[in-house]
Structure formats: C-alpha cells, structure tokens
Amino acid sequence: MTIKQLLIDAQAIQVGIKEKDWQKIIYLAARPLVAQGYVEERYGQAVIDSTLEHGAYYVFDEGIAMPHARPECGVIKNGFSLVLLDEPVQFHDSDKADIVIMFAARDSNSHIQDGIRAIVSLLDDEEVLRQLRQARTPEQVVEIL
C-alpha cells in the first residue's frame, strides 16, 4: 500500500496547523492514527520520550520531520500521518521542520521497506515539497501525492 493510500485510509492529513510546541505537534500527528486504530494512545508519548532521550534525529535539512517510535511502543498496524505546519518549528534540539510525517510500523522490516522508501522519494522531489507547503486542504495534498 502506498503512503498516499495509508494517509487516506487513516484520515491522517492535517494542513495549515499553527502550532509552535513540538510536543503538541507530535500528539497532533498521532491523534488520527490513534483514532483509526493504527497505534495505541501511548505512541505519541513514546515518540516524545525517544526524542528527549536520543534527540530529534528524524529531522532532515529539507524541513521534514519523520517522528516515530519502536513497534513495541503501541503500534497496531502500519500507518502514516501528515501534518503541514504554517511555520517551521524546532523539534527539541534539531533543525526546524514544517512537514511532519509520522509513521508507525509493526516491525523494522516494514518500517524500512515501505515507509522509508516512500518518504525518501518525497524528499528527493523539490517540486513535490514546494507544492505540499502551498497546499491548503487535505484534498490538495492527495492530488500532489
């Protein structure tokens, strides 16, 4: 299943978010995954705890954050969530990001094969990133993806 289909199935596209607190953004990203049964309630906190312990290693120079936690931290099934922020926000000790792609993977194989491959292809396309930053509705995001 593609990242686009996973986002649609999870009803997990949020655009125009005006939040400055990175921890609240993590909870926002986790909320649709919890609501749709992809992760347990504790998943968002696990991402925050991991970030506080290991840093925000998941923030890339392109302004994209890919927060996630280990499968045993409450992952029920593979899923993605996308949050597009109005303004870039610093995640703990990292660079700033305005595109947040949270993912949850049941095991490290699906984590590596499905999620990372799809996200890396996004990172490589500057035009897609530009269009995502200009999107104002979930429907526009689906068209772009």
Active site residues: 68
Contact 145, 4 (CB under 8 A): yes
What is the token pair recorded at 41? 């309630």
Q: How far apart are CA 28 and CA 24, in angstroms?
A: 6
Number of Cβ atoms within 10 Å of the Cβ of 30: 30
